[in-house]
Structure 1
Amino acid sequence: MGRAINRLSASGVKTASVGKHADGGGLWLVKREDGGAQWVLRVTVHGRRREMGLGAYPDRSLKEAREVADTWRAVARQGLDPIKERERQRREAARNIHMLADIALDAFESRKAELKGDGKAGRWFSPLELHVLPKLGRVPVADIDQKDIRDTLAPIWHTKAATAEKAMSRLTIVLRHAAALGLEVDLQATEKAKALLGRQRHTVTNVPSLPWQDVPAFYQSLGGSITELALRLLILTGARSGPLRNIHVEQIDGDVWTIPADDMKGRKGATKEFRVPLSAEAQRVIAEARKFARDGFLFPGAKRGVISDMTMTALMDRRGMKERPHGFRTSLRVWLAEATNAPHDVAEMCISHMVGSKTVQAYKRTDFLEQRRALMERWSEAVSKKNSASRIFQMAR
């Protein structure tokens, strides 16, 4: 019995001739004509002979081959197929390596080139980071199913519907990214999770806005910091926060600011840029802001990039206001409706709203620039003229 196993010696293995050499207990050394050699283990499971490779020699020594063979013989004695068991262990190891958090970060890095502004800076990633990864980040992406997603997003599905939708959308992208990497994932998991969560019950609320009558006092309370100048220009132009915070000095030509098509909301892939007329007051604000410009951006952030949307919101919060920067677009639109005779299409264009279907827009070759120029000059005079507010608006500097 002692000669039944461990028949080979280290020196004998080294000088073995071409062919198969038994060490006993099913362990064989297979020497090839090209000089290479392979360890092979033969076992019988449920009457079926199985042959599995244990690695190459000399990468795996005789001693190591015997130890590995002992491990898989023990598996076979339990009635398990060692080859299938090894594959199962490999799949398990692969799942443990590809955690959702790692795949999500990789997906984010891959998409950065097509993201703009805050998205590139991390805003795209934040719904995942705040609402998904704390619970599922360390779960192997291959193991995530619709019930995991449902349980994760259920707490905010109805109370923070928009945020939950963004998180679900981002998770769908991450799962697709995982599939592109060759991982086995359920690409329908998010859709199944939506079915389990049910239709969202929420009421859409408008962004709080300041009555236009109170805008002059607020405007006049603003100082000359980067954030305050950005708010001033936001009010004067009726622009959205994103394009304004990312405004580049090269986009300004005299009294016209041209917003690139890619920065216009709702125009993905559009080829049409948008011109914004700049009033005398708007040009004055821009001139004051130029002294802060960095890397060509008029409103740079403290360390890098540009100021964030939350920077302007925080200023209004500190003043005890419930209104938000985006609400000044509403203030302007209501002023246009109540204090001017601006035609509907012109008023809508003042806040860069496209009127009519895509077909109608295709044939409408004007952006009413001159008519808007006159209206925006009146708006600027109204908000910047001292004592023009009909109410006293107390603001702490």
Structure 2
Amino acid sequence: MARPKHKLSSAELKAKAPGKYSDGGGLWFHKRPDGGAQWFLRYTLFGRRHEMGLGSFPAVSLKAARQAAEKWQAVVRVGKDAIKERGRQSREAQRNLNILADIAKDAFESRKAELKGDGKAGRWFSPLELHVLPKLGKMPVSQIDQRDIRDTLAPIWHTKADTARKAMNRLSICMRHAAALGLDVDLQATEKAKALLGKQRHKVTNIPAMPWKDVPAFYQSLDGGTTAELALRLLILTAVRSYPLRYLHLDQIDGDIWTIPAEAMKGRKGATSDFRVPLSKEAQSVIAEATPFARDGFLFPGVRKGVISDMTMSKLMERRGMVERPHGFRSSFRDWVAEATNTPHDIAETALGHVVGGAVERSYRRTDFLEQRKTLMDRWARQQLAKADQKIVQL
């Protein structure tokens, strides 16, 4: 005959004398001599008796204690130890309390080696730091869903579309990183958030670039010998990006070749080798002129420490009332190559440091077209030194 359940009533619990009282179904009420009381579940598994605490009375009511007892008895009925199972669930819940801010920092640290300059410039982390972590940083990553992400990025989704896209991308990486750590996260949360936010209303705007026919006059006007002017001249002559130029170290130069370390090159995903830049006679002359100002081996040092900032050259152009930006000279160079030379596409793209072709094609083609690019960069340098009234010769 089954033992009757629910022997106790809420009204009598406070008046109970010290002792242990069964409510049935394995649930017990223990009244201590000091007046305190607690619940515990008594169960037998594999021939051994166990007692599992279920909380103090009256913080845990009789009804709540009965519900807890039934929950854990169900676990025992399938052959599991209720105490061990509760511990496992508690550890899992604790693990899932990892907040997004900590996950984001860990994800950033694990990816530093993949980022330009080990991510020291902060550009990878800043979209998260500025637009995501202030609102979601303290939330357990396992509790973040698409609505949280939508509400966080909605204010900039259309007004700062590119920044919002980067923030969403970084957040997706953080969610995948959390999953790799064994946390219970929704890997589709960012995609769902995009669906809720809708298609971005923005137009891609290119960085203003100077027409290639106007570059020589500007180049020749950079005659003050300042660090910013010398840096701009070398930027124009080599058609490289600002970062590797600003961090140009004298030990990277060997004669008429400047070797940029692979980690300093952007836009070369899939390429692991350094990038060789041929230096024209004019480029070598600029380097020689700048060398006396070098500090700690860096050709273009900053005023106080480090190297010149990303804005140094831009500010020089702004002060002259120009809307064009230094990065635009890469476009100027590329337009000149297309319009005034018969340079093959692969050589032109390689001159800009772009990876050309798929992985299989690159595995068979090992050349970086250095000799052809030397000729091309010599022609580009002569273009900058041409007089204003000199006829442009098709090359």
- Tell me which residue corresponds to 1:77: 61
Query: How many Å apart are 1:363 and its aligned residue?
Result: 4.0
Aligned positions of 1:1-397 closer than 5 A: 4=17, 25-26=31-32, 42-43=38-39, 51-52=52-53, 72-77=56-61, 79-81=63-65, 98-117=98-117, 119-222=119-222, 223-301=224-302, 306-384=307-385
Q: Is the 8 A contact 1:220 1:386 kept in 2?
A: no
Matches of 2:369 and 2:180, distance apart in 1: 46
Matches of 1:44 and 1:102, distance apart in 2: 37
Gaps spanning 5+ residues in structure 1: where?
7-23, 29-39, 54-70, 391-397
- Tell me which residue corresponds to 2:80: none
Residues 167-190 of structure 1: CA distance to partner in whole angstroms, max 9, x if unpaired? Answer: 111112222333445544323211
Q: Is the 8 A contact 2:100 2:133 kept in 1?
A: yes
Residues 168-227 of structure 1: CA distance to partner in whole angstroms, max 9, x if unpaired? Answer: 111122223334455443232112212323344443332210111221232233343433
Question: Identity percentage over the alignment?
Answer: 64
Q: Is the 8 A contact 1:172 1:190 kept in 2?
A: yes
Going from structure 1 to structure 2, the CA distance change for 1:151 and 1:323 (only over 3 Å counts) comes to: same
- CA RMSD of superposed structures (Å): 4.1
Q: Is the 8 A contact 1:117 1:242 kept in 2?
A: no
Matches of 1:388 and 1:145, distance apart in 2: 64
TM-score, with normalisation over the residues of structure 1?
0.71
Q: Is the 8 A contact 1:297 1:306 kept in 2?
A: yes
Query: How many Å apart are 1:331 and its aligned residue?
Result: 0.7
Query: How many Å apart are 1:230 and its aligned residue?
Result: 2.3
Query: How many Å apart are 1:159 and its aligned residue?
Result: 4.1
Going from structure 1 to structure 2, the CA distance change for 1:184 and 1:211 (only over 3 Å counts) comes to: same
Matches of 2:253 and 2:33, distance apart in 1: 78
Query: How many Å apart are 1:386 and its aligned residue?
Result: 6.3
Moved more, 241-250 or 264-273: 264-273
Tell me the secondary structure at the aligned position of residue 259 of structure 2.
strand
Tell me the secondary structure at the aligned position of residue 52 of structure 2.
strand
Tell me the secondary structure at the aligned position of residue 186 of structure 1.
coil
Residues 339-360 of structure 1: CA distance to partner in whole angstroms, max 9, x if unpaired? Answer: 3344444333332344444444
